[in-house]
């Protein structure tokens, strides 16, 4: 339990860079391990929380450029993002990651996912192939990026990506490469995580679905001949902590059309939130990256750090 790590997932919905930086600095002061941004192009928090209204023309800062700026204004906290593989060429991502790892002095946490947001891809003119193709692209992308980080002048020819003596200097500060996460729950994605990743990250779902994915990850690790304990398992999701016993209990539920979302938020007093997170800890999860409502995130971070984390250690 003492080895569990805690971060914060920042949803950029409507936030300025100054506000994101203020949150990141508070996380750093509180001793959290990392801050993560969402790799989207437009706000979507309102799609999850009932009663959370969409903000017309709200800003949503792009994750990669924002992370680069955060690296320059923070000192110790690690910075991460689960990038959507469809949005950028993996060779370019590898080059950008090497650069950001240098700027941050080795503080980059890099995640990749196959992608799911058809609407966002369509609006930006990005191709959205079948789920099977997207996962095959993810598998190739991981190979491309690892070669870029570790080989002198790598060449690669796959079905979806190719390289020809692609120079990538400087190499990442972290050796042999930045921490690599795979996000998602499909069997093919879990297989990629088991074979290639340092960590697996999943969330925004109810506990039963997460636990089922965790079990399937173990099966994939066994089939790949990998010790399940060598891959870090991370949970991320919405947390809403009640600020005191005198306040009436508010069981906030997630909105949206899918019934599975209705139990995806962890809510209640700090001891209730800690009790729920402990079920994940007991199942082998050792990295927790909660997301909070932006309107009370500073208060929530204080309570989470001073009360919830203490009860988990």
The DSSP 8-state label assigned to residue 230 in this structure reads: G
Q: What integer is the mean pLDDT of 165-194?
A: 96
pLDDT, one tens digit per residue, over 109-162 is 999 999 999 999 999 999 999 999 999 999 999 999 999 999 999 999 999 999
Categorize the per-residue pLDDT at 56 as very low, low, confident or very high, splitting at 50, 70 and 90.
low
Half-sphere exposure of 89 (CA within 13 A, CB side): 9
CATH numeric code, 5-312: 3.20.20.30
Q: Report the alpha-carbon distance of residue 169 to residue 249 in Å, rounded.
A: 54
Domain spans of the chain, in order of start: 5-312
Q: Is 223 exposed, middle or buried (0-12, 13-18, 19+ CB in 10 A)?
A: exposed
Report yes or no: 283 and 213 within 8 Å, Cβ to Cβ: no
**The pLDDT of residue 261:** 43
In the predicted model, what is the mean pLDDT of the chain?
Answer: 91
* Token duo for residue 244: 């005191």
């Amino acid at each position: 339990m003492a080895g569990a790590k805690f971060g914060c997932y920042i949803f950029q919905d409507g936030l300025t860079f100054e506000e994101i930086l203020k949150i990141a600095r508070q996380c750093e002061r509180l001793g959290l391990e990392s801050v993560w941004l969402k790799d989207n192009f437009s706000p979507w928090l309102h799609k999850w929380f009932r009663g959370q209204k969409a903000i017309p023309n709200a800003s949503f800062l792009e994750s990669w450029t924002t992370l680069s700026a955060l690296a320059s204004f923070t000192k110790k906290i690690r910075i991460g993002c689960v990038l959507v593989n469809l949005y950028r060429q993996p060779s370019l991502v590898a080059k950008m990651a090497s650069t950001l790892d240098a700027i941050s002095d080795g503080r980059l946490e890099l995640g990749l996912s196959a992608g799911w947001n058809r609407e966002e891809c369509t609006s930006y003119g990005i191709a959205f192939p079948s789920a099977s193709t997207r996962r095959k692209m993810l598998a190739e992308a991981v190979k491309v990026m690892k070669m870029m980080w570790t080989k002198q002048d790598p060449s690669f020819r796959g079905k979806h990506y190719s390289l020809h003596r692609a120079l990538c200097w400087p190499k990442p500060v972290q050796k042999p490469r930045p921490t690599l996460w795979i996000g998602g729950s499909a069997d093919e994605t879990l297989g990629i995580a088991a074979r290639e990743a340092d960590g697996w990250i999943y969330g925004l779902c109810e506990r039963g679905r997460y636990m089922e994915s965790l079990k399937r990850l173990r099966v994939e690790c066994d089939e790949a001949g990998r010790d399940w304990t060598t891959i870090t398992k991370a949970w991320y999701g919405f947390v809403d902590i009640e600020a005191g016993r005198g306040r009436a209990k508010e069981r906030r539920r997630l909105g949206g059309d899918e019934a599975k979302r209705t139990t995806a938020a962890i809510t209640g007093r700090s001891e209730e939130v800690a009790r729920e997170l402990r079920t994940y800890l007991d199942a082998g999860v050792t990295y927790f990256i909660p997301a909070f409502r932006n309107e009370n995130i500073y208060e929530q971070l204080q309570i989470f750090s001073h009360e919830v984390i203490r009860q988990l250690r």
